[in-house]
Amino acid sequence: MKALRYVAIGQAPEVVDIPIPSPGPGQVLLKVTAGGVCHSDDYVMSLPEKDYFEQSYPLPLTLGHEGAGIVHEIGEGVDSTLRVGDAVAVYGPWGCGRCHNCSTGQENYCTNAAAEGIRPPGLGSQGSMAEYMIVDNARHLVPLGDLDPVQNVSLTDAGLTPYHAIKRSLPKLGAGTFAVVIGTGGLGHVGIQILKALSGATVIALDVNDEKLELATHVGADHVLISDGAAAGKIREITGGLGADAVFDFVGANPTMALAQSVAALDSDVTIVGIGGGTMALSFGSIAFDAAVRMPYWGSRSELIEVLDLARAGKISVEVETYGLDDGPKAYEDLAAGRIRGRAVIVP
Ligand code: NAD
Ligand code: ZN
Ligand code: ZN
């Protein structure tokens, strides 16, 4: 089968031919219908050799932590109602399934995964950018039903991650409030829709790219601003001087984290989702009183079901640009160059 793999440190991923894997006991083999391209893949491929191996990434690594497929073969001893031919989405943050967090469906916060070497597909285990993929346990598979896999595969991360981030701030986002979204790419453009669907907040979206701001308006942002030195002042103006009740930073670089900090209102939530290498210096008076800074990771299994339900209800959708597996390397080039509107999805 063809697979899009990261094969050498610092080099672009390559399409290679490898054997179709067989599901071991407890595992499920999917025929992949779609795999989404995330900026985090770029982050992993940008790690220097020492950090890459210290963080236990294997080489070669089949990319793709957003996956959807058709159940192709079920391994021995799989205890599930799953049937060959079922259309499924892959819940990516795999955990041990036994710890307290896993028991509540929050496998993204599994307390045993690191010690037991349990890694998400495409981020340690072999991922979805291939014709077939192994899923370690049937509980990681969520029925897609009538949702189109190509249009919806990215909800497994670009939907689930902002959903988890936003859901915790909903008590602060009633009518008359303001939410700021920084970075309106893959995650951000879905985040705007989730805010509009679930909260009463006026949404102010920022990006450095005019086309991304056009997309932000298209998906429902109330105000769009270029993310530059003047942005904080404009946000103050829009919010009547009070600042934003919640800020979601889908970039996480120094300038965006400084912006997030400076526009946070009293008792607000500042949520840093992007892993752009930024840091935030906090001291008394450097952020509004009682503002809380959070750094969430991905989302829970039940939240993925909720996100898919939102899509089914027509309340959120992903802007998708599709690529064949052979064009996978080009998808990453286009992502790095800021040419993707919404999310790039590989269709094998
Ligand atoms: P993306 O490339 O699709 O979108 C990023 C957007 O940010 C682009 O539109 C870009 O133009 C914009 N941008 C860049 N610099 C900016 C700036 N200074 N101000 C405003 N906007 C700016 O990326 P994505 O796939 O949506 O991922 C977003 C970030 O979230 C990445 O850092 C990714 O690694 C991270 N991520 C984190 C989690 C998590 O669980 N915490 C999960 C998925 C992705
Ligand atoms: Zn991701
Ligand atoms: Zn666990």
What's CA 235's distance to the chain center, in Å? Answer: 26
Question: Could you give the CA distance from residue 272 to residue 25 in angstroms, rounded to a whole number?
Answer: 38
Mean pLDDT to the nearest integer, 212-219: 98
Nearest atom in ligand 1 to the alpha carbon of residue 188 is: 26
Please state the φ and ψ torsions of residue 68, each to the nearest 5 degrees: -140, 155
Question: Could you give the CA distance from residue 303 to residue 144 in angstroms, rounded to a whole number?
Answer: 14
In angstroms, what is the span from residue 57 Cα to ligand 3's centroid? 20
The ipTM of this complex is 0.99
Contact call for residues 40 and 96 (beta carbons, < 8 A)? no
Q: Using CB atoms within 10 A of its CB, is residue 312 exposed (0-12), middle (13-18) or buried (19+)?
A: middle
Question: Could you give the CA distance from residue 321 to residue 340 in angstroms, rounded to a whole number?
Answer: 7
The tens digit of pLDDT for each residue in 228-245 reads 999 999 999 999 999 999
Please provide the distance, in angstroms rounded to a whole number, between the alpha carbons at the two ends of the chain: 10
Contact call for residues 56 and 47 (beta carbons, < 8 A)? no
Continuous segment of H or E residues that includes residue 14: strand 14-17
Nearest atom in ligand 1 to the alpha carbon of residue 296 is: 41
CB atoms within 10 A of CB 57: 17
Pairing of strands 141-143, 223-226: unpaired
Average pLDDT, the chain: 98
In angstroms, what is the span from residue 246 Cα to ligand 3's centroid? 30
The tens digit of pLDDT for each residue in 156-208 reads 999 999 999 999 999 999 999 999 999 999 999 999 999 999 999 999 999 99
Choosing from 275, 298, 304 the residue with most ligand 1 atoms within 8 A of its CB, the one to mutate for a pocket test is 275
Using CA positions, which residue lies closest to atom 12 of ligand 1? 183
The pLDDT value given to residue 85: 97
Using CA positions, which residue lies closest to atom 8 of ligand 1? 185
Instruction: Tell me the pTM.
Output: 0.98
Domain positions in the chain are 2-157+299-347, 161-294
The architecture in CATH of the region 161-294 reads 3-Layer(aba) Sandwich (3.40)
In angstroms, what is the span from residue 99 Cα to ligand 1's centroid? 31
CB atoms within 10 A of CB 79: 9
The tens digit of pLDDT for each residue in 268-311 reads 999 999 999 999 999 999 999 999 999 999 999 999 999 999 99
> Which protein residues touch ligand 1 with a CB less than 6 Å away?
38-40, 43, 157, 161, 182-188, 206-209, 212, 227, 250-253, 255-256, 273-276, 297-298, 335, 338
Contact call for residues 273 and 250 (beta carbons, < 8 A)? yes
103: helix, strand or coil:
helix
Choosing from 40, 66, 225 the residue with most ligand 1 atoms within 8 A of its CB, the one to mutate for a pocket test is 40
In angstroms, what is the span from residue 337 Cα to ligand 1's centroid? 13
Q: Any idea which ligand is nearest the CA of 139?
A: 3
* Distances in whole angstroms, Cα of residue 93 to Cα of each of 3, 14, 40, 104, 120: 21, 24, 13, 14, 5
Provide the percentage of residues in the chain whose pLDDT is more than 90: 99
In angstroms, what is the span from residue 221 Cα to ligand 1's centroid? 17
Question: Could you give the CA distance from residue 55 to residue 39 in angstroms, rounded to a whole number?
Answer: 18
The tens digit of pLDDT for each residue in 71-112 reads 999 999 998 899 999 999 999 999 999 999 999 999 999 999
In the CATH scheme, what is the homologous superfamily, with its name and number, of domain 2-157+299-347? Medium-chain alcohol dehydrogenases, catalytic domain (3.90.180.10)
Using CA positions, which residue lies closest to atom 39 of ligand 1? 297
Cα dihedral angle (161, 164, 168, 171), rounded to 10 degrees? 100
